[in-house]
């Protein structure tokens, strides 16, 4: 895979991601901005001032407030690879809407949310050079992919007892992914032979996530938060079109060979399990650790082919601190966050499974009347892959901006 030393700007996805060619693309984080700032902690922790999108059970921590949240996510990335003992580098930037979400109470024990967010994106372009065996002619292989899968979800969380919570999320995935590959034999500018393949897959189906949480108190000031989520293996239905064509000197010399035309199939979305523990002190301090695994080795394409992926492991620690949450002074209500992640990715290169290591910082600034609304910021810096063999090293800097708006649900006006 060759890389050019260029700088590009992209308006969709998060910029060029060579590994998004695998599986369903690069899966985006499900955490909202406030959680991103503390290492993505959210399976076991939910503040009453922000919307939790990672564990549906913890929606029930919210009571009388309706909340609307919007998030934006951008990324600056430097991609490097060693080719012929020379380091090739590409720099680019991408940004996108991260999520829209609305949550509201249906009773004192029951809360509901609806949300829309990208689930994964595909954005890559690469080139390889070679030779036709036994000849003097060179070959060029071009690979390009674009597309995204979106996720619309409705979640419900219920407080079963004083300290036990349960919830379920019903999500609908939909979107299209297109990929093309051109195999070109370089003879001269007028007689180059190219074989082109275009593949397009559209997805549309539902899957579920179940959540639970336990929040026992530890003395007067502390609460232990234990949470877990489970998404069972699902089949995501879709249709696939696969077309080949031969071109000479820029002109088609054969009719299109359609191998598949809207052929119906289903891809296997593997199961995922996450668990976490967070210690909380009176909405002032929270320290948590979480881990999760998703069995991407069980992934199958829409044509029931192995995806050549490995099981992925996610670990994170996070910290959140508000100086004086009951104060009326503005500076006492600013929330500070920090976190760290170590992830084993589902991608492998030459038998080596890649890792992603990153750290994050976050900040929430109260705005509006009574300081119940917040502007949220998060920055994440990290690296995945290494400059070893044919691995591609990605060093990235992500920044997230979010807005949390709280208000009463069906509040009646009072006239004196």
Structural domains of the chain sorted by starting position, each given as residue range(s) with its CATH number in brackets: 7-178+205-238+270-408 (2.40.160.60)
Q: What is the pLDDT along the chain (416 residues), one digit of tens a residue?
A: 444 433 333 445 677 888 888 999 999 989 999 999 999 999 999 888 889 999 999 999 877 789 999 999 999 999 998 887 888 888 888 888 899 999 999 988 999 999 999 999 999 888 777 777 877 778 888 889 999 999 999 999 999 999 999 999 999 999 999 998 888 877 765 556 778 888 899 999 999 999 999 999 998 899 999 999 999 999 999 999 988 777 665 566 666 667 778 889 999 999 999 999 999 998 899 999 999 999 999 999 998 999 899 999 999 999 999 999 888 888 999 999 999 999 999 999 888 999 999 999 999 999 987 788 999 999 999 999 888 888 889 999 999 999 999 887 555 555 54
Q: What is the pLDDT of residue 194?
A: 78
**In percent, how much of the chain has pLDDT > 70?**
91
**Tens-digit pLDDT profile for residues 102-122:** 999 998 899 999 999 999 999
**Tens-digit pLDDT profile for residues 167-220:** 999 999 999 999 988 888 777 655 567 788 888 999 999 999 999 999 999 988
How buried is 41 (Cβ within 10 angstroms: 0-12 exposed, 13-18 middle, 19+ buried)? buried
Q: What is the pLDDT of residue 122?
A: 92
Q: What is the pLDDT of residue 254?
A: 61
Q: What is the pLDDT of residue 253?
A: 60
Q: What is the pLDDT of residue 5?
A: 37
């Amino acid at each position: 895979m060759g890389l050019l030393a260029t700088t590009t700007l992209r308006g969709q996805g998060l910029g060029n991601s060579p590994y998004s060619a695998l599986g369903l693309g690069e899966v985006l984080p499900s955490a909202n901005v406030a959680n991103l700032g503390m290492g993505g902690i959210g399976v076991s922790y939910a503040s009453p001032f922000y919307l939790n999108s990672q564990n549906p059970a913890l929606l029930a921590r919210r009571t009388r407030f309706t909340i609307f949240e919007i998030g934006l996510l951008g990324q600056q990335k430097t991609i490097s690879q060693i080719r012929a003992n020379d380091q090739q580098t590409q720099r680019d930037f991408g940004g996108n809407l991260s999520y829209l979400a609305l949550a509201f109470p249906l009773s004192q024990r029951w809360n509901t949310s609806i949300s829309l967010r990208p689930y994964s994106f595909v954005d890559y372009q690469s080139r390889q050079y070679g030779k036709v065996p036994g000849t003097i002619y060179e070959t060029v292989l071009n690979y390009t992919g674009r597309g995204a899968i979106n996720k619309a979800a409705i979640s419900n969380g219920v407080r079963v007892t004083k300290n036990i919570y349960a919830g379920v999320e019903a999500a609908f995935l939909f979107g299209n992914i297109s990929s093309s590959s051109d195999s070109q034999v370089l003879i001269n500018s007028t007689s180059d032979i190219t074989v082109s393949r275009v593949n397009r897959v559209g997805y549309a189906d539902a899957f579920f996530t179940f959540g639970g949480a336990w929040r026992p108190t530890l003395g007067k000031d502390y609460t232990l938060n234990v949470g877990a989520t489970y998404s069972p293996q699902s089949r995501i239905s879709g249709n696939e079109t696969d077309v080949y064509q031969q071109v000479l000197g820029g002109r088609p010399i054969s009719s299109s060979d359609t191998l598949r035309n809207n052929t119906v199939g289903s891809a296997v979305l593997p199961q995922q399990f996450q668990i976490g523990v967070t210690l909380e002190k009176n909405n002032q301090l929270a320290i948590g650790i979480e881990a999760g695994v998703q069995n991407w080795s069980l992934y199958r394409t829409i044509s029931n082919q192995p995806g050549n992926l490995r099981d992925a492991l996610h670990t994170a620690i996070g910290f959140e601190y508000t100086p004086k949450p009951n104060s009326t002074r503005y500076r006492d209500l600013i929330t500070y966050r920090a976190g760290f992640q170590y992830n084993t990715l589902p991608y492998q290169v030459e038998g080596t499974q890649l890792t992603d290591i990153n750290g994050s910082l976050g900040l929430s600034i109260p705005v509006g009347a009574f300081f119940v609304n917040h502007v949220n910021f998060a920055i994440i810096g990290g690296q995945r892959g290494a400059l070893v063999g044919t691995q591609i090293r990605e060093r990235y800097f992500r920044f997230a901006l979010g807005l949390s708006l709280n208000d009463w649900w069906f509040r009646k006006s009072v006239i004196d």
